[in-house]
Structure 1
Amino acid sequence: MDQYPTIKLIVERGDLLAAIVGILPFLGALALFAFGVHWLVIVAGVVAAAVVYLLMRSYVELVRVMADMLIPK
C-alpha cells in the first residue's frame, strides 16, 4: 500500500476526512449568513452538508472495498 499514499490516507483517515469535507458547506453557509444573506442559506447549508457527508462516506467505503480486494498486502 506504500505505492499508493492517497489511497492509504483515505483508507486510514477516511472517516475524519468525510466529516471535515461534510462540514464545509455548513461553514460556508454560516459565512454567507454573517455577510447578510437570508437566513434560509443556513437551511441550505445543513442540507448540503448532509448530502456531501453521505457522498464522502460512500466514496470512502468504495475506496476501502477496492483497496481490500485489489491491492495486495
Structure 2
Amino acid sequence: MDEFPTIRLIVNHGGAIAWIVAILPFLGCLAAFALLQTSWLILLVGLVATMVLLFIMKSYVELVKVVADMLLPQ
C-alpha cells in the first residue's frame, strides 16, 4: 500500500479525520452565535449538520477500509 498514501492515511486515521471534519459545522455555528448574536437555533442546526456529516464521513471511511482490504495487496 506504499503507492497509495491517501488510502493508507484514511485507513490508519480515518476515525479521527471523520470527527475533525464533522465538528467543523458546529464550530462555525458556534462562532456565528457568539460573534453575530444570532438565534440559538443556529446551534441546533450546527449540531444536526455535525451528526449528518459524521455519519457520512464514517461510512466513507468504512468503504475505503473495505476496498483497501479487498483490492489492494498487503
Question: Normalised by the size of structure 2, how large is the TM-score?
Answer: 0.96
Pairing of 1:1-73 with structure 2 (within 5 A) = 1-34=1-34, 35-73=36-74
CA distance in 1, matches of 2:24, 2:73: 34
Aligned CA-pair RMSD = 0.6
Gaps of 5+ in 1: none
Letter in 2 for 1:63: V
CA distance in 1, matches of 2:32, 2:71: 43
Identity of aligned residues (%): 56
CA distance in 2, matches of 1:71, 1:22: 28
1:4-25: per-residue Cα shift (whole Å, max 9, x none)? 0000000000000011011111
CA distance in 1, matches of 2:61, 2:38: 33
Q: How many residues are paired up?
A: 73
CA distance in 1, matches of 2:73, 2:50: 35
Gaps of 5+ in 2: none
Letter in 1 for 2:10: I
CA distance in 2, matches of 1:3, 1:36: 49
Name the SS of the counterpart of 1:65 in structure 2.
Answer: helix
Question: Normalised by the size of structure 1, how large is the TM-score?
Answer: 0.97
